[in-house]
Structure 1
Amino acid sequence: MPASLFGRLTLVLLVGLVAAQLLSATILLRDRGQTLYQSIQRGFVERTVGIVRLLDVLTPRERARLLPLFHTPESRVRLAEEPSETAPGQGVAEAAAERLRRQLSGRLPPDTELRVVLDNDLRFLTRRRGRDHRPPPPDHPPGMGPEPRPWSALARGRPMARGFFIQIRLTDGTWVQFVRAVPEDVFERPARLLLTLGILLVSVILLALLAVRWLVGPLRTLRSAAEALGRDIRRPPIPERGPLEVAQTAHAFNTMQQRLQRFIDDRARILAAVSHDLKTPLTRMRLRTDLLDDAELRAKLQRDLDDMESMVKATLDFMQGSDSREATQTLDLNALLETIQSDAQDAGWTVSLTGSADAPIQARPKALKRCITNLVENAARYGGGAEIGVEERPGALVILVRDRGPGVPQPLLEQVFEPFFRLEASRARHSGGTGLGLGIARNIARGHGGDLLLRNRVDGGLCAELTLPQ
């Protein structure tokens, strides 16, 4: 079963159309053969009755003179003193022969003796009483060989004989024998009809494929919009056009996007307002702390105030990392990494840089710089130094930030991205961490359509893998 909706719909439609077309073609050919066969049979009955009535009133010499006029390419008429006997078991359609016999009896004078045989091989239909089968007479119609053609499925699979052998006794005792071959066209598969059905099938399949592609198109648009929404919550809304269901789905998607934007904006405004309002009491508390005479108490209160201000600032940074209002532009990643390396070295940290990007990327410069700076600061502060590496991969650019620190326990590699989560053993608040740096970095990475993962290095230390689309 195909994985895509387009493939599944196409498969279902193709199977259904082909099955329906084959069934209809079979029924059509079957009914066509039966109709032609019955038409030939009715015409043969009328012609036979007419010839019998005419011969019955003629003299033997007149009969012999008129007999050749009754021959046609498909039938022969001859006279005999005695009836020919049919070989036992030769008939393939006894019920059809009985119906034909009743039709003839209803049009002939009462008590007229007649014999009817339907078979596929007229050459062996007759034999003389007491003698073996004789070879076919020279006046038998053509096309009545002992073996039906391979394509004569109708003759093999249905009670439709390929020929009629009728014997009727005239009033003077003479037997008139009729041999009638059914034309091959009745049993053939008509090439023109099959070609027409084939063209119709191909046309319907092509139209079905176009219809499926047209129906699946809005789903592709919706999928692309959903992927782009993860990178930019403020992307333009998708067009609300097409069939009613498609337009309603697009409208629902745009409404969801608007609600998400309002939610993010409201959250940012609330946190910004709270953080801003906290600065005033913090400032007053710091001033009052400076007036304390107890130096030890004053130092403790100042550390607490520093922690509170650090948390407020980190919260604002976290919200800014989630904000995607910064415009995307072409960015020289190599220059950005060199700037981050230089700033870290100026701060007294050991930072190395290997590899480079082959081409500029599309990114939000300030947000991406904050993301990589957070990773470098974490590696330098807790791992004794940072090693920045750049790798080109199919469809993606990967920035690796490695350190030589103690690493992170395997069960906590995802938990460290949660806001305000800290590893107390090495990343306590007194060392300057608030537990928001990695969360900010991941939000920025995912806002660019990429991701941020952590893994422990085999030879010790932690590796942060930042993936950006190209």
Structure 2
Amino acid sequence: MMRLLPASLFGRMMLILFSGLVLAQILSASINFAERDRLLLRSSGMQSAQRIADIVKLLDSLGPAEQQRIVTILSVPPQVVRLEAAPQAPSAAALDNPHAAMFSAALHVALGDARPLRVSVRQAAPGARPSGLESGRQGMMGEHAGMAAAMSAAMPGMPGMPDMQAMRPFMASGLMFLTQVQLRDGSWVAFDTQLPQGPASTPWRLLLTLLVLLLTVLVLSYAAVRWMTRPLAVLASAADALGKDINRPPLPETGPTEVRRAAHAFNIMQSSLVRFIQDRTRIFAAMSHDLKTPITRMRLRTELLEDADLRQRFDKDLREMELMVTHTLDFMRGLEPPQVARPIDITALLESLQADNQDMHREVLIEGRARAPYVGDPERLKRCISNLIDNAILYGRQARIIVEDGPAALTLRIRDQGPGIAPDELGKVFEPFYRLEASRSRETGGTGLGLGIARNIARAAGGDVTLRNHPDGGLEATLHLPRKPGYLNAY
């Protein structure tokens, strides 16, 4: 389930808000539908109770013969009326229905007395007709039309005789009320009343209202969540850029209080890191520089030794120490930001390095050309590429430089023909003074700083140096240098 969640904080917040809003709208719609059906049932029940009370009051004022004629006329769906000598005995479940109790209370209020009555409720099946209804009723309209009109005038709450075709919708489904009321003469009158069910059609207006509300809240939530999460994205981008350029401009300390505090803390952290790196660089650079003086004195004293073999061993050790000091200084300088930035002809620079290596009988091949100058520090870039070429030749016998140029970045791939490096060692060789026992030793002249210097220079320029074992054999060092936006027009 966790894999199905959005990866970003913005996506997760939007998912939570969307799910909550949809659930709230579904519950709201359910409550509205239930309340609508309850009010409709109550309204229909009150109308039916008033109609029954009017009929009972009319029957109380008539004799037995007239009562039968009136009952015959009024027995029209959705309410069937019949006279009974004694009340029927409905089931206990039908009497205990809460709708029956509510209908009984409404009927007592409409009658205005506490005469005996019974109300039972059952669910009508689709297509069912109220009991006591007979099919041969078509002639009743003409025979009793005048009496129906008179009763309508006498009882304003009871409508005139309805048409049978018009009453069929009420017989489809709904609640069936069996109401039995005792008349003043001791007889009983029974009413089979079918209340209309709530409208089956979908309330599109209500659904449209809920949909508009949902979309409005979602749009506002989208804007609010985006506004809240944008500072986090800016902070993440700044942290990523800090790893590439420690001297990047500080974050603007604007926005809400929490955002300003986070930006302020980030800027303080960046300034602390800059001071720490600068202090460490100055200390190591000073130590390495000061070591040159005693090394020079020791070299002069070595020349005074009479034993040639001993003098040669001392001289070798001193050269190695001097080389380590020089490389350490270069390594420290690689941590500093570039001082000079100007357009560099990459093709000319590579050809110059190729010529220098050919003078030392080293094989350097160049494939491809740079299509536009690269803006950077020429001395530092030359040192970076030179270290990568030296590493390829010392441990791979040959350096092949493949130039890949594009509008966004310049990429140089330096391949050798050596045995490669174990995968778990590819990242360790950039550490200062780290050597691979199988392929690197002081006999080859390596100090373990060349690759670290190259990567420091590349990262100071906003790029990077990576290593991989090429599928065709050998080690491949990739120098990736992003281009300045101003030089995109060359393409």
The normalised TM-score by structure 1 is 0.79
> Displacement, 1:342?
3.3
Q: Which residue of 2 aligns with 1:157?
A: none
Matches within 5 A, 1:395-414: 397-408=410-421, 412-414=425-427
Q: Which residue of 1 aligns with 2:401?
A: 388
From the superposition, tell whether residues 21 and 349 of structure 1 become closer, same or farther in structure 2 (CA, over 3 Å).
same
From the superposition, tell whether residues 307 and 367 of structure 1 become closer, same or farther in structure 2 (CA, over 3 Å).
same
CA distance in 1, matches of 2:128, 2:86: 13
Q: Which residue of 2 aligns with 1:155?
A: none
Q: Which residue of 1 aligns with 2:167?
A: 142
Deviates more, 1:253-262 or 1:36-45: 36-45
From the superposition, tell whether residues 411 and 18 of structure 1 become closer, same or farther in structure 2 (CA, over 3 Å).
closer
Structure 2 spans left out of the alignment, 5+ residues? 139-161, 484-491
AA matched with 2:442: R
CA distance in 1, matches of 2:198, 2:422: 84
CA distance in 1, matches of 2:408, 2:427: 25
Deviates more, 1:173-182 or 1:332-341: 173-182
Deviates more, 1:395-404 or 1:229-238: 395-404
Q: Does 1:21 align with 2:9?
A: no
Q: Does 1:4 align with 2:29?
A: no
Aligned mate of 2:213, from 196, 200, 205: 200
AA matched with 2:134: R
> Displacement, 1:370?
1.8
CA distance in 1, matches of 2:446, 2:20: 64
CA distance in 2, matches of 1:359, 1:63: 111
Q: Does 1:337 align with 2:357?
A: no
> Displacement, 1:316?
0.7
CA distance in 1, matches of 2:286, 2:280: 10
Contact 1:372/1:441, CA 8 A, preserved across alignment: yes
From the superposition, tell whether residues 70 and 197 of structure 1 become closer, same or farther in structure 2 (CA, over 3 Å).
farther
Matches within 5 A, 1:46-195: 46-50=50-54, 52-53=56-57, 56-57=60-61, 80-82=82-84, 95=97, 96-105=99-108, 107-113=111-117, 117=121, 119-120=123-124, 124-127=129-132, 134-135=134-135, 139=162, 142-144=167-169, 147-148=172-173, 161-162=174-175, 164=177, 166-172=179-185, 182=195, 189-195=202-208
* RMSD between aligned residues: 4.1
Q: Which residue of 2 aligns with 1:38?
A: 42
Q: Which residue of 2 aligns with 1:152?
A: none
Contact 1:113/1:168, CA 8 A, preserved across alignment: yes
> Displacement, 1:260?
1.0
The normalised TM-score by structure 2 is 0.76
Q: Which residue of 2 aligns with 1:241?
A: 254
Contact 2:40/2:198, CA 8 A, preserved across alignment: no
Contact 2:170/2:194, CA 8 A, preserved across alignment: no
Across the two proteins, how many residue pairs are aligned to each other?
450
CA distance in 2, matches of 1:269, 1:103: 97
Deviates more, 1:242-251 or 1:357-366: 357-366
Contact 1:162/1:182, CA 8 A, preserved across alignment: yes
> Displacement, 1:408?
4.1
CA distance in 2, matches of 1:221, 1:62: 91
AA matched with 1:134: E
From the superposition, tell whether residues 336 and 183 of structure 1 become closer, same or farther in structure 2 (CA, over 3 Å).
farther
Deviations 1:252-308 (A, max 9, x none): 222221111011100111011112222233333334444445554444333333222
From the superposition, tell whether residues 115 and 83 of structure 1 become closer, same or farther in structure 2 (CA, over 3 Å).
farther
Aligned mate of 2:452, from 417, 439, 442: 439
Structure 1 spans left out of the alignment, 5+ residues? 128-132, 149-160
AA matched with 1:318: F
> Displacement, 1:232?
0.8
AA matched with 1:340: L
CA distance in 2, matches of 1:247, 1:386: 51
CA distance in 1, matches of 2:342, 2:60: 107
> Displacement, 1:50?
4.7
Q: Name the % identity.
A: 47
Q: Does 1:259 align with 2:262?
A: no
